[in-house]
Amino acid sequence: MFSDKDIAHFSNLETPFYYYDLNLLERTLKACEEASSVYKFHVHYAMKANFNPIVLKQIEKIGFGADCVSGGEVKKAIEVGFSKDKVVFAGVGKSDKEINDALDNDIFCFNVESVQELQVINELAEAKQKVAKVAIRINPNVDAHTHANITTGLDENKFGVNSWDMPACAAILNISPNLEFVGIHFHIGSQITNMDVYKNLCIRVNEFAAWFEDHGFKVTILNVGGGLGIDYHNPNGQIPDFKSYFKIFSDFLEVKPYQEVHFELGRALVGQSASLISKVLYVKNGKKKNFIILDAGMTELMRPALYQAYHKIENISPKSEVNSPESAIVKYDVVGPICESTDCFGKEVELPETFRNDLIAIRSTGAYGEVMASHYNLRENVQIVSSEEIK
């Protein structure tokens, strides 16, 4: 929700811009921290969701680690101040350079996604006379019941090592003096809202942990990944239900006294803390469709074009005729200016009758929003505004 003061401030700014509500971010981080510390669970922030420095600073301050999926993210995490022993590095295609840089930085752990990658890390670590800590990212074949494009833990997905390759992993680990096995890692998908999915994951984690221990490996880290969803339909001040989420893992994971449970949350920590604020350039009323054409497009927010993601769209113009109860409700396709038909934020969106220069808020854009912005069509960098500026 935006105050009159926020909206008055927005009216004087150039659009489009991402507006970050740092107060909501802080409350969300605290809620997660409190709910996880009840069970002594460790949280790493999945940086790819949002690596804006104003966001990273707050997350680092609360004491979470960093979950990285590229050499660039590893570098950024360390620059921002995340302690190296809380930096983990996942990714299905780590290059030799990325692995070497991470070895030089003595990060906490590589989450390894193939048998061949284990061999490569061992070779590169040997050349540096180092020992690399590794966890095996296992593809547990658990259905995350989320959008197919953000499912990662099924046999047909490219991520992780499949169950039938566990013996090959064990064999490599046994003959690789430059690898230290620390545990097992999972991440089965994103925007998961069905809590039974996590229960199914826990059962598989228990099975794989037992398998490794039966084969002579000590499993000290159980990393269950991230994926907790947010409520895109109700964005106002919503903090995800971290208590229920962590309780499921406490109830269903079999954790030995020497084992640590690690989480990698991205979307749930940052998703609700931003909105993309845009202005209406034109309104086109057609026979079949009414269009609102915004000055923001898929170059600022790609999720709808990339995986038909839903974001709540609101007309937040201060003008009384827009928000008055009498104003007619009209169905619009809300689109951007980019020369692509998929550049559409929502179809048949019910809004009060809307006019040129009205302010439009696209909500819940803190995760996978700004970080996916591009320069397609030679668009300029999207602007950033934080709640601190309006105080």
Ligand X SMILES: *Cc1c(COP(=O)(O)O)cnc(C)c1O
Query: In degrees rounded to 5, what are phi and psi of residue 179?
Result: -120, 135
To the nearest whole angstrom, how small is the minimum distance from the Cβ of residue 266 to ligand X?
3
- Compute the least distance from the CB of residue 251 to ligand X, in Å: 20
- Least distance (Å) from ligand X to the CB of residue 92? 9
Any binding-site annotation on 340?
yes
DSSP structural state of residue 135: E
Taking CA atoms, 326 is separated from 40, 144, 151, 222, 302, in Å, by: 53, 43, 44, 56, 34
Of the pair 249, 332, the CB lying nearest ligand X is at: 249
* Shorter beta-carbon distance to ligand X: residue 367 or 382: 367
Contact 375, 337 (CB under 8 A): no
302 Cα distance to chain centroid? 14
Q: Is residue 19 part of an annotated ligand binding site?
A: no
- 8-state DSSP, 190: S
Q: Which residues pair with 161 in a beta bridge?
A: 138
| Joined tokens for residue 297 | 């497009």
The residues facing 330 across adjacent strands are: 351
The answer on whether 264 is annotated among ligand-binding residues is: yes
**Is 202 considered catalytic here?**
no
Nearer to ligand X, 62 or 283 (CB): 62
Count CB neighbours of 105 within 10 A: 15
CB 239 → ligand X: shortest distance, Å? 15
Residue nearest ligand X, Cβ-based: 266
Looking at beta carbons only, is 223 or 275 nearer to ligand X?
Answer: 223
Q: What is the DSSP letter of 216?
A: T
Cα–Cα distance measured from residue 104 to residue 100, given in angstroms and rounded to the nearest whole number: 6
Would you say 267 is a known binding-site residue? Answer: yes
Catalytic hit among 32, 169, 339, 344: 339
The answer on whether 368 is annotated among ligand-binding residues is yes
Q: At what angle do helices 115-127 and 96-104 cross, to 10 degrees?
A: 50
Q: Site residues (CB under 6 A) for ligand X?
A: 46, 48-49, 67, 69, 90, 187, 190, 225-228, 264-268, 367
Annotated binding site: 227, 264-267, 303, 307, 340, 368
Residues involved in catalysis? 339
Annotated binding site for substrate: 267, 303, 307, 340, 368
